[in-house]
Structure 1
Amino acid sequence: MTAASLEQALQNSDVLFTRDQLDTEIARMGREIDAALAGERPVFLTVMHGALIFAGQLSLAIRTDLEFDYVHATRYRGAQTGSDLHWLREPHVPLAGRTVLLVDDILDEGHTLKAVRDACVKMGAKRVLLAVLCTKLHGRRAEGIEADFNGVDLPDRYVFGYGMDYNEQARNLPAIYALKD
């Protein structure tokens, strides 16, 4: 992947959400999460790498005290299709009896996110709340996975920016882009 190919991708993309629009939605999410936590001190569990940018901003929008940790998991291991969950890094904070706020960049089909959520429950979390920057709208979602807190809805297109990558580039773009059909 070269800078030229990223530039071509940007020229062949639409801006779906600007940073200002995302800032507004993330602030709203913070208020909703505060209301849902009602005085609890949850484990704020960021899914790496994609959620890094969103998680930092979301954490600053939440007034509730948080205990931070992160996970890194994959179902792909270099393949095009997923299999069983493989941990690159499991949570280090004990989850038993705790509320977990699982934070990710996007809810697309949701297989990996569902596997991470279910693993948190197996580790003893009393509940797992899912906060995502965006949800892709389509009919291919894994059964039993929905966001408790969602920033924006996206069309069923290839998206990148604001934590989401375009061939391992462009995660730090301050907007969400979608390749034109």
Structure 2
Amino acid sequence: MKIKINQKDFEPIIDYNQIKKRIRLIGIQLNVAYENQHPVFVGVLNGCFMFMADLMKQIHIACEISFVKLSSYDGTERREQVNELIGLDANLEGREVVIIEDIVDSGNSLKHTLDLVNAQKPASVAVCTLLLKPYALKHTFDNIAYVGFEIANDFVVGYGLDYHGMGRTLPDIYREIKGKP
């Protein structure tokens, strides 16, 4: 089913059942990887809220949760500059850290988050992202360890991702339809 948000048309690409299955598998991987540790999961708001909430329901190990809030989009366009709206409030020194992202596309916000986290000298840092756009990356990362889905360089909404604040609460993920459908 196609949808319209602020005069843009979108079509579904990943339904909620696929998302739930993938999150269950990522949760198992994280439980095994951090079984005898006490990691801190750092969510990057606003986009991660649905993914992180569902993911944390699958985590059955001792852990802590923290958040940062960044802004790197202007509508559908990625900006080079990343604005930090809410800073990191947890002490990460010597800790195992897992950064939770909704999407990694250019990598600008992930680079900013990694700089914030690494400044505190954690024991390790892994990145867990629901969506990865490998062909949009402008940076190289060696710690993206958990990926839900690799997608094309399309603009997407739903399941936490928005367009001008709209579409975040959609359970499925949709991509923008370019040109005439």
Task: Map 1:34-113 to 2 at 5 A.
Answer: 34-74=31-71, 81-83=79-81, 85-113=82-110
> Which structure features the higher share of strand residues?
2
RMSD of aligned residue pairs (Cα, Å): 2.3
Instruction: Please say if residues 46 and 104 of structure 1, whose CA atoms lie closer than 8 Å, have aligned partners that are also in contact.
Output: yes
Residue-by-residue CA offset, 1:54-77 (whole Å, 9 max, x unaligned)? 100001111112111111134579
> Which structure features the higher share of helix residues?
1
Once the two structures are aligned, what percentage of the paired residues are identical? 25
Q: Secondary structure at the match of 1:82?
A: strand
Shift, 1:154, TM fit? 1.1
Q: Give the alignment's TM-score, normalised by structure 1.
A: 0.87
Gaps of 5+ in 2: none
2:108 and 2:84 map into 1 onto residues whose CA distance is 14
Shift, 1:22, TM fit? 0.2
Gaps of 5+ in 1: none
Q: Which moved more, 1:85-94 or 1:95-104?
A: 85-94
1:6 counterpart residue number: 5
Q: Give the alignment's TM-score, normalised by structure 2.
A: 0.87
1:96 and 1:23 map into 2 onto residues whose CA distance is 32
Q: Which amino acid aligns with 2:5?
A: L
